Structure 1
Amino acid sequence: MRILLIESESQTTAAITTALNAQQYAIDAVDQGQVAIEMVQAYEYDLLIMTAGAELAEIRWCRTLRSQNYSAPILMLMTTNNSRDRVLALNAGADDCLAKPFDIAELVARVQSLLRRRQAVFTSSLDWDALKLYPDSRRVTWQDNPLSLTAKEFRLLQLFLENPLRIFSKDVILDRLWDASEAPGEGTVASHIKGLRQKLKASGITYEVIETIYGLGYRLTPPPDAKNKSTLSSPDRAVLQQEVLAEVAAMQADLRESLDEEVAIFEQFAAQLVAGQLNQSLLSQAQYQAHQLIGTLGSLGLSEGSQVAQQIDQLLQTSGSLGQADAERLLQLVASLSIAIAAAPSIAIPALSPNVDSIRLLIIDDDTTLTKVLRRAAIATGFEVEVATTLEQGRAALRRSYSGEIPPPDVVLLDLIFADSEEDGLSLLSELAAQNSTIPVVALTVRNSLRDRITVARLGGQAFLHKPISLTEVLRVVTKLLNPAPPSEAKVLVVAHESQILEQIIELLPPWGLQVTTLADPEQFWEILTATVPDLLILDVEMPEFSGIELCQVVRQDPQWADLPILLMTSYGDSEVIHRVFDAGADDFVGKPIIPPELIARITRRLEWTRLRKRNR
């Protein structure tokens, strides 16, 4: 994506450029109107960002661009915060306005929203193999030959093509495609699905376009080329599985051969304890060796050996009070370790996932045994994998992806402990957070303190996996992270006075299977609430006439709505308001300006908790 930034303040230009570069956008920055005109004429941009000065010349230029049918989105940065100028900018053709000074995270969110909207608007066709649906002209073709579909069949096919990963129940399809006045039954859906399938087959399509998920509904079948990309043949998969098992056997043999070195470290440390001496360097070495063995043995399916390594690690953590009895206990554990490593490994090969063909995995971990077997298993599952055994190698891989030399990883698996470095994995995670990186990071570590878990969460980590952990579970978490199951169809009522908030929510929630009703006038709240019967309610705290807190109190006073999940929207940092929010009976609050991933996470989590609570009653 290429963006033109027209801004005269150098500090603002630098801040915006840095933030958008971190999102992998290419930025051209100019500070003069004439240069900007020449740039727009010379290059095709996906978005324009410009500041409307006191004389509003940029607004006049925006009107001129629109009169010339210039179609790229325009984000206008306003030096004033009055509604008159915003109205002028929007009427001139700006797609969005943001008043200075602004929060850089909000600007990034608005840019992403405008670019998503542009992609949706300018999608001329929805494609499935050689099947094409043209929403604007209401046409469908297969290999350029037209298909004759009824209006309902067209909308049905469009529904599946727009949501290729979603499963639609018959009830949801009825809600989406039929008016309440028509009141058809579930048999109507089955009849239309059957009719659509017959017409698709009659056109020459030899594959099933819409598949039945028994007990759930229907969804779009992945096109043949996607299946070929994401599915290995049985012989290929069998070969890869054998390679993984062979790799495990070879690593187990290497472990047995190198065990003498680990045993020597533990025995030397035990001898020091007997002599009443304690060498901190040797202690650190023994602790690190125990950490490594926990993860390594667990990944190889040697669970008993991993448990013994954990007992050694726990013993070494109490170094300040260790004595001769502990030395004897350490030697006993070392003897058990030798027996456990000789046992037969029990390792499960992860099942091949149909949705991971494009997932690139960057593993940053100095446990070479673990990374080797994890890499093998990930490739067998369909991932593309790069391994970095030091933090610097990990940084180098990320820099190459930022520069476009290699595709960026979809997920980073990051250990928190590196023996040959004074820094740990949290430092790299902190750097990624400072860069506003959107790459999900999963901590994979033997460390398991609450402090570590909180730090990872604060720095934006998406998951925390504690070694030892099976390969299957690691790859399951990664796959689920990138292919989250959409929530079941649910109705959400949003009450807010600001039209911008309502528009943003209308854009965000429907792709997640949520039906959204919006209300800008709180005086109509009770009528709309009882008419829509929502599964979740979102209220803005600051509204004229009635505040969101007052509306929340009114809802909680009625026994019918006692269990309705309620989220209140309020600005971050106002502890007094947040306290009043929970006193009023709200379940949660959402900060303003809205951060899309946070809003989605809070809504889906609250709906899931509500479903679980109802199920357990």
Structure 2
Amino acid sequence: MKILLIEDDPFISQLISTKLIANRYTVDLVTDGELGLEFALMGKYSLILLDVIIPILDGLSLCHQLRDSGCETPIIMLTAKNSDEDVITGLDAGADDYVTKPFDVEQLLARIRALIRRQDIKRFPSILTWGALQFDPILIKVTYQDQVINLSPKEYSILELFLRHPQRIFSRSDIIDRLWMIDESPTEAAVTNLIKDLRRKLTAAGMKEELIETIYKLGYRLKSAPDCQEKKKQEQEGLMLLEQVKQDFKKSLKDRIKGLEKVSIGGNCFSPSQRIQLKQEAHRLAGGLGIFGYSKGSEVAKEIEHLLDDESGQEEENFILFSQLITELKQEIGQSVLTSNLAPLSRGFRPLIVIIDEYNPFTQAIQEAAPDQGINIEIISDEIIPWQWLKQNTPDVIMLSLHRSLTQDSGLMLLQQLKKQFPSIPVLVTTEKDNLYERVAVVRSGGEGYILQTATTEEVFGAITEVLSPVSICNSKVMIVDDDPIFLKTLMALLQPWELQVTTLSKSDRFWQVLTTTNPDVLLLDLEMPTFNGLELCRVVRQDSKYNHLPIVVVTAHTDDNSIQQVFAAGADDFISKPITDSEVLARVINQIERSR
């Protein structure tokens, strides 16, 4: 668990930090209220320890601003003021607890545990389990089949992180943010080694199942627990419920068609109220029939709906056509359902890659490496393509081998057929030879990638990740520096729905500290700001060996040649002109993230 300590007294902060770290907490320390507010709003802390009297922004004002912004992180206030009035003021400001100085550190720890425990009770059971593995956060104990497993503080923390968030994928940078302190600078390799060490200890304790799975190019996630009986039961119940819905819909059709028939034999024109009701019913039937497999019936219902929109005055002709369409609809519904457009139950986040090729050393190597990459692989022959199976399982990527001669055009014809049947699914072509004419033919036929079969598995999975780029931007970090708070809020509202982690900063003199703490994937800088302008900050980044490759986009209202030349001369990768448009900002930010990867 990670705690934010906002305290300007170096001796008190060192005492508290040392004690917390010894009790397996990760601590971020800041010494003033303004920076504390920025860190707290990042929302990555289990608890905030807040001194009342701190520089720039006092603790009470900071607490008020956090609660006003919707921050629900538990807050314990620390202060030398102990009157009833002071305590009431602190609690009214939004604090959850109030500790007066001098305090006993053990008592402070107890209050921290109690407050975190109360928060956790709302969301988690007191003991976290995964199969026979048990994690007790109160006793700080991990057991497997009742055998205690001794873990390091970091191993303990990462295990807790995954158990508390079983569905979430954590990138290596996410894990660094949550487990390491601000003044530590671990590489992503440290996360890889930490997970290896945890896996090794769990295996030594007798655990045969893999606890943490690798999601290729994204990070890690807790695997489903070995006991999946309940999940299978729920899936079965879901299928049964689905079948029941289909049957109920089928039974309802008879009465619904009868209602339409009554109108068709009850006169020779529509009343205004009938027209509205019939149009609504035809619209509902068009959607329902299509979903449950009556594709032709759905088309007939759409014709009825369009007919009822016709108010040209040809009432009698339209009424006759309406009666004919009702008869046609009855005939279509009386036939068997050909197919169901209902998708099968989700297979989870692991992408499905279908390889259309012979089983050979190239495809075998990909299939063997796929589980470690968090990918499912299916190899099918191109002699008989199981089109219905492909429709039901909807692969995320198709890899097609062009091992046949191009003079026969069979491989390219199959590529064109795949793109016609599945226009939204990327198709990567694999081939034994590298030929420009073949590359052009693949592009013309709709292929999204060209891979030589001499490529390594890492190169193959890299190509797969590139065509899955809409997923790869998830949880990417964007840092925005601008002195206009309204502009910052606008960009945050625009980018966050795309599952981007957005950090905003309005004071450019805090730039370096926030940059090195958040480690963003892309940086947006306003050109004109007080203290330091965007060009100066851009040059600062380009001079640093660690961050000099960070993508930078400058936002400016000046689009004259001289200003743009200065932007690129300072080292920016791109610029956005004000006033901004939603689509342009998204496109440029996502483009920079994808290019950097």
Instruction: Establish whether TM, by shorter chain, passes 0.5.
Output: no
Decide which structure has the larger Cα Rg and report it.
2
TM (norm. structure 2) is: 0.44
TM (norm. structure 1) is: 0.43
